[in-house]
Amino acid sequence: MSEKKALLELKNVKTFFKVKGGMLKAVNGVDLTIHEGETVGLVGESGCGKSTLGKTIMRLYKPQEGQVLFDGQDIWQYKRRDVFNYTRQVQMIFQDPYASLDPLSVIGDSAAEGMDIHHLFTDKKQRESEILRLLNQVGLNESHVDRYPHEFSGGQRQRVGIARALAMNPRLIVCDEPISALDVSIQAQVVNLLKKLQRERGMAYLFITHDLSMVRQISDRIAVMYLGNIVEIANSEDIYLHNRHPYTRALLSAIPIADPTVEKQRKRMVLGGDVPSPVNLPKGCSFASRCPYATEACRQSAPALRPMEDGHLVACHRAEELPEEAY
Amino acid sequence: MSDINRMFTDEDFAPIGGELGKDPGSSREKLTYWKDVWRNFRKNRVALVSLGVIGLLIFLVLFGPMFNEYDYFTNNYSAINHTPNAEHWFGTDTLGRDLWTRVWEGGRVSMLIALLATLIPEVIGMLVGGVSGYFGGKVDTFIMRTIDVLMGIPSLIYMILLMLVFGSGNIVTLVIAMSLTGWMGSARSTRGMILQLKGRDFVVASKTLGAPAWWIIVKRLIPNTLGIRVVSITMSIPSVIFYEAFLSYIGLGVTPPAPSWGQLIKEAGANFRYYPYQFVIPCAIVGLTMLCFNLVGDGLRDALDPRLRS
Amino acid sequence: MSEKILEVKDLQVTFDMYQGSVQAVRGVSWYLNRRETIGIVGESGCGKSVTIKTAIGLNPVKNGSVKGGEVLFEGRDVLKLNEKEIRSILGNRMSMIFQDPFTYLNPTMTVGKQITEVYRQHHKVSQAEADAKAIEILKMISMPNPEENMKRYPHQLSGGMRQRIMIAMALICEPAVLFADEPTTALDVTIQAQIVELMNSLKEQLDTSIVLITHDMGVVAKMVDRVYVMYAGKIVEHGDAETIFHRARHPYTWGLLESVPRLDQKTRDELHSIPGMPPDLIKPPKGCAFAARCRYAMDICTREEPPAIDLDEPEHYSACWLCHKECIARRGVVTREEVQA
């Protein structure tokens, strides 16, 4: 892992929003490194700040504190020219395929938007053939080029979104819940497509999702987020087999397995309590209010991410004491 | 339905191979956004007829004066205050001028003013509203407060001031005056729509692709507000026509002998008791025009509303 | 033999669009026993939602019309009832919970008022009595501080809480049948688990049967006794949950099961996916609707619609030519293991 070159580094990133009654701490001090060509899964429930983190990387939100380094350079220190260049190297795929395409533009133009903004092709013929090549790569064909988005299914639209990102030949794609609005059989198609494209082109993915079963199929490493903080990062399989954070465990145990026989025998870790408000975070560990293992110490001081074995990081005071069980 | 127990052949159960999941191609008719709007609009009979009437009115305004040999300014004292007849279809006025010619000639002026005085402020309003909504923050606050202040002053006051500065009576002054007061409403409502659209993913997508502000405003935001703006343009044409008539009536409009609908009504108003047709005909035509534009606008709004579509 | 409380027979629904009529439901039959949970499983557009909206007497969509079939509930055909009779059943004997509770709750009314309103529509009781009943039901669904929460407005509650309020509204009259249209899809996994447990326990306590509509095979595995798999407006396979999950015989069911990666299985290089997409139901294909996406498609599949074939197990039907005895005689039994390999 360490021999790979770091592509994007987040250092103590804090993205807050002003709301009534204070600051909403959407991202509250995140450290994360994405290496060249790797896929990092970012998992958490709604409101945990995972989308905000993705948009912070996209330069849509400016963090209050901390740095976002791309190739070792702070993206908020960029000159105008560098920003434009950055928008070429880092792309985003959106959650809702019905909202992410302009209803008034034909598919070909939507896919080519980045190329047009960056003037990649001045020759009309070249542009056209590039569009076709891209659409073919994502499994669409020339009969689709001049059709409007409303004639397409969710899965097809998501493919157009992928083509739009690919057109720029990016080094990092932030995938913000790219499959959660799709039907199950189509989800698998899109995940397979993303994997295929990565094999061919070698870009890195930040795969943001709430779906722990799908993210395993595509990620090299997985980071679990809770209330603005990363609580656990590990190699993908370790998250499933050797997880050390009670929240990770609760998340995994909540996912039903598509087999009634297995389901009936599973032990379940049901979380009580409510998620604290991200405006008034508690003093100690933010998960303490729902954690079955919480002690007084957890309520007093917030745990930092600390290394376990093999690049595995956990933010839990009692990580060593948790019983060894899968989920 | 098939009989499960009939004879089957080996061929029946031969695998077919070939590419799986090929797109069968849509059997549905291809519809662009505006085609779809037109299809919905067509279903509304009243609006469709109104559109036809508007077409007819525009035709008459353009070519009506050519149907007879009279012009709109020559006085003819041998034919004063004739009621409508075979010679003068709409009769003549107190100076013996042919009213058919004058009504359509006046329509030219009124419609031209209506068109310019809706389009120009609309474009200004859309750009200002687009900028205000897109950039938000201080720019937005500044523009919106300015509009609030300007809107607080009755538009008639500007109008009179401008007339005094530019001199009253010509079309250009009227259009400028109306444009200067008309853009604010459109800026406000465009801004509202832009604020909604700004958060939509396809706009955010353009932003992440490095699109400059003008690109997002001109290519993404404004086209997507256009549908609703078209409705408001159609709906504001009648009020501009009426406003022009009103200004002419109080003496701030185009100067005689050039007719406009307002001018005609004003001239006829004095003799209303003796020659009612001189008053009623232009009034009826103004009323008809306003009604038709309103009905078309109504139909458009329904056709554009996604909730009412099928 | 358990008692059937709801039966849908050969239901056909179409809706008219400008481009033609969409045959959304093309002859669907199912039944529900007392105290049972059935699952109607399929992807969006397969007609599962239209089926149940029709079954509870709601006109499913604008321009929609029922072309045939009947829905038998408590000895009456729901499709033949007038609006008043339907109102007396809805929310009372049959009720429904939806995917997105927020859009179905009135934002200007306290949730307590909304719950009691349902109750008072069907029972002649005072507000105080209705309040008491509402608190009772909120306690049953383990809502914390029911008295306090009843005074709140929908936007003051979290997504999971709102779904609980929807469930309370649906259950306050103790209906015989509860329809749940993707009740957990919009919720986070940890909340989803709570809601599923809740619905399972309520079924026992209130003597209610549940019709669950979902595309999530995991939720089906946790809740359902019998499964109907729907594709392109038809039921393609039916059996009890154990049979469907372990001995399914329809390639579409295999596809659905395989395309969801299972937590208890290792990562695969390539996920199993069903190629292509469902057919346009304006012009349904001539033979089997799934043939164009099916790797086992045979000549007959493109020509002739497969009948529902009764398999050896109790109540296991599959509408697939692969299950026909003539086909088995020639090709042998094709099983899901082949897909996995």
Is A45 in Cβ contact with C190 (below 8 Å)? yes
Is A58 in Cβ contact with B31 (below 8 Å)? no
Question: Chain B neighbours among C 19-38 (CB < 8 Å)?
Answer: 19-20
Is C190 in Cβ contact with A251 (below 8 Å)? yes
Which residues are within 8 A (CB) of A325 and not within 5 positions of it... i.e. 6 or more apart?
A: none
Decide: helix, strand or coil at residue A305. Answer: coil
C333 touches chain B (CB under 8 A): no
Q: What are phi and psi of C28, to 5 degrees?
A: -115, 135
Q: What are phi and psi of B239, to 5 degrees?
A: -70, -30
Residue C95 class from Cβ within 10 Å (0-12 exposed, 13-18 middle, 19+ buried)? Answer: buried
C236 touches chain B (CB under 8 A): no
Interface test with B, best of C300, C303, C331 (most B CBs within 10 A): C300
Neighbour subunits, B (≥3 Cβ pairs < 8 A): A, C
Is B31 in Cβ contact with A114 (below 8 Å)? no
Chain-centroid distance of CA A42 in Å reads: 4
Q: What's the alpha-carbon Rg for chain B, to the nearest Å?
A: 28
Amino acid at C272: H
Instruction: Give the C-alpha separation, C48 to C41, whole Å.
Output: 7
The verdict on residue B248 lying in a domain is yes
DSSP C206-238: HT-EEEEEES-HHHHHHH-SEEEEEETTEEEEE
DSSP C297-333: -BHHHHHSPPPPEEPSSTT-EE--GGGSHHHHHHH--
3-state DSSP percent of chain C in helix, strand and coil, to 5: 40, 25, 40
Instruction: Provide the residue range defining the domain that includes B61.
Output: 52-67+100-308
Predicted confidence at residue C332, as pLDDT, reads 79
C279 touches chain B (CB under 8 A): yes
Q: What is the mean pLDDT of chain B?
A: 81
Least confident of A225-239, B110-124, B253-267, B276-290: B253-267
Closest residue of chain C to A215, computed from CA coordinates: C261
The verdict on residue B162 lying in a domain is yes
Length of chain A measured in residues: 327
The verdict on residue B273 lying in a domain is yes
Question: A22 CA to chain C: closest CA distance, Å?
Answer: 18
**Interface ipTM:** 0.85
Closest residue of chain B to A149, computed from CA coordinates: B32
A88 touches chain B (CB under 8 A): yes
Mean pLDDT of A313-319: 90
A237 touches chain C (CB under 8 A): yes
DSSP chain B: ---TTS---GGGG-B--S-TT------SPP--HHHHHHHHHHT-HHHHHHHHHHHHHHHHHHHGGGGSS--SS---GGGTTPPS-SSSTT-B-TT--BHHHHHHHHHHHHHHHHHHHHHHHHHHHHHHHHHHHHH-HHHHHHHHHHHHHHHHS-HHHHHHHHHHHH-SSSHHHHHHHHHHHHHHHHHHHHHHHHHHHHTSHHHHHHHHTT--HHHIIIIIIHHHHHHHHHHHHHHHHHHHHHHHHHHHHTT-SPPTTS--HHHHHHHHHHTTTT-HHHHHHHHHHHHHHHHHHHHHHHHHHHHH-GGG--
Question: Chain C neighbours among A 279-308 (CB < 8 Å)?
Answer: none
Instruction: Give the C-alpha separation, B304 to A294, whole Å.
Output: 56
**Chains A, C: CB pairs < 8 Å:** 119
Q: What is the mean pLDDT of chain A?
A: 88
Chain B: residues touching C (Cβ < 8 Å): 1-2, 4, 8, 10-16, 20-24, 26-29, 39, 310
Classify each residue of A280-319 as buried b or exposed e, where b means 16 or more C-beta atoms within 10 Å of its C-beta: ebeebbbbbbbbebbeeebeeebbebeeeeeebbbbbbbb
Closest residue of chain A to B29, computed from CA coordinates: A151
The verdict on residue B5 lying in a domain is no
Is A168 in Cβ contact with B206 (below 8 Å)? no
Higher per-residue pLDDT: A267 or C25: C25
Is C215 in Cβ contact with A256 (below 8 Å)? no
Predicted confidence at residue A1, as pLDDT, reads 45
DSSP C15-74: EEETTEEEEEEEEEEEEEETT-EEEEE--TTSSHHHHHHHHTT---STTEEEEEEEEEET
Strand partners, B11: none
Instruction: Give the C-alpha separation, C136 to C142, whole Å.
Output: 10
Instruction: Give the C-alpha separation, C39 to C34, whole Å.
Output: 14
Strand partners, C21: C16
Interface test with B, best of A148, A153, A185 (most B CBs within 10 A): A148
- Provide the token pair at A10: 């987040």
| CA-to-CA separations, A184 to A154, C215, C217, in angstroms, rounded | 12, 7, 9
Instruction: Give the C-alpha separation, A229 to B303, whole Å.
Output: 48
Question: B39 CA to chain A: closest CA distance, Å?
Answer: 16
B20: nearest CB among C275, C309, C327: C275
B12: nearest CB among C285, C298, C309: C298
Question: C43 CA to chain A: closest CA distance, Å?
Answer: 6
Contacts of A262 in chain C (CB under 8 A): 221, 264
**Residue A273: left if φ>0, alpha if ψ -120 to 50, beta else—which one?**
left
Residue linked to tokens 């995917």: C99
Closest residue of chain A to C270, computed from CA coordinates: A192
Predicted confidence at residue C282, as pLDDT, reads 83
Contacts of C327 in chain B (CB under 8 A): 8, 12-13
Is C305 in Cβ contact with B21 (below 8 Å)? no
**Residue C62: left if φ>0, alpha if ψ -120 to 50, beta else—which one?**
beta
- Provide the token pair at A249: 């465990």
**Cis peptide bond N-terminal to B257, omega within 30:** yes
- Provide the token pair at C220: 């089906």
The verdict on residue B14 lying in a domain is no
The verdict on residue B39 lying in a domain is no
Instruction: Give the C-alpha separation, C340 to A154, whole Å.
Output: 26
**Chains B, C: CB pairs < 8 Å:** 77
Instruction: Give the C-alpha separation, A243 to A227, whole Å.
Output: 19
Total tally of structural domains belonging to chain B: 1
Question: Chain C neighbours among A 164-193 (CB < 8 Å)?
Answer: 183-189, 191-192
C302 touches chain B (CB under 8 A): yes
C309 touches chain B (CB under 8 A): yes
- By C-alpha distance, which of A174, A184, A197, A168 is closest to A84? A168
Q: What are phi and psi of A66, to 5 degrees?
A: 90, 175
Neighbour subunits, C (≥3 Cβ pairs < 8 A): A, B
Amino acid at C118: V
The verdict on residue B27 lying in a domain is no
The verdict on residue B38 lying in a domain is no
- Provide the token pair at B255: 């100067």
pLDDT bin (cut points 50, 70, 90) of residue A315 is very high
Predicted confidence at residue A224, as pLDDT, reads 95
C232 touches chain B (CB under 8 A): no
Question: C17 CA to chain B: closest CA distance, Å?
Answer: 6
Least confident of B23-32, B121-130, C8-17, C30-39: B23-32
Mean pLDDT of A267-276: 75
pLDDT tens track, chain C, 341 positions: 478 899 999 999 988 877 778 888 999 999 999 889 999 998 888 888 888 888 887 765 566 788 888 899 888 888 888 888 888 888 889 998 887 777 788 888 999 999 998 899 888 999 999 999 999 888 888 787 888 888 988 888 877 788 888 888 988 888 999 999 888 877 788 778 888 888 888 888 888 999 999 888 888 998 999 999 999 999 999 999 999 998 899 999 998 888 888 877 777 777 888 888 888 888 888 889 998 888 888 888 888 889 888 887 778 999 999 888 888 888 878 877 766 66
Is B26 in Cβ contact with A168 (below 8 Å)? no
Instruction: Give the C-alpha separation, B308 to B41, whole Å.
Output: 11
**Residue C233: left if φ>0, alpha if ψ -120 to 50, beta else—which one?**
left
The full set of domains in chain A, from first to last, is 6-226 (3.40.50.300), 240-327 (no CATH)
Q: Looking at residue B169, which CATH number applies to its domain?
A: 1.10.3720.10
Instruction: Give the C-alpha separation, A256 to C219, whole Å.
Output: 6
Predicted confidence at residue A83, as pLDDT, reads 92
Q: What is the pTM of this model?
A: 0.82
Closest residue of chain B to A148, computed from CA coordinates: B32
Instruction: Give the C-alpha separation, B225 to B188, whole Å.
Output: 12
Mean pLDDT of A22-42: 92
Question: C293 CA to chain A: closest CA distance, Å?
Answer: 11
Amino acid at B88: H
Strand partners, C237: C229, C318
How many other CB atoms sit within 10 Å of the CB of residue C255?
24
Interface test with C, best of A140, A141, A151, A183 (most C CBs within 10 A): A183
A152 touches chain B (CB under 8 A): no
Contacts of A210 in chain C (CB under 8 A): 188-189
Instruction: Give the C-alpha separation, A303 to A282, whole Å.
Output: 12
Higher per-residue pLDDT: A187 or B74: A187
Least confident of A235-239, B18-22, B289-293, C5-9: B18-22
Question: B201 CA to chain C: closest CA distance, Å?
Answer: 19
B310: nearest CB among C17, C280, C297: C17
Predicted confidence at residue B23, as pLDDT, reads 59
Instruction: Give the C-alpha separation, C197 to A270, whole Å.
Output: 10
C155 touches chain B (CB under 8 A): no
C280 touches chain A (CB under 8 A): no
C281 touches chain A (CB under 8 A): no
C202 touches chain B (CB under 8 A): no
Is A101 in Cβ contact with B202 (below 8 Å)? yes
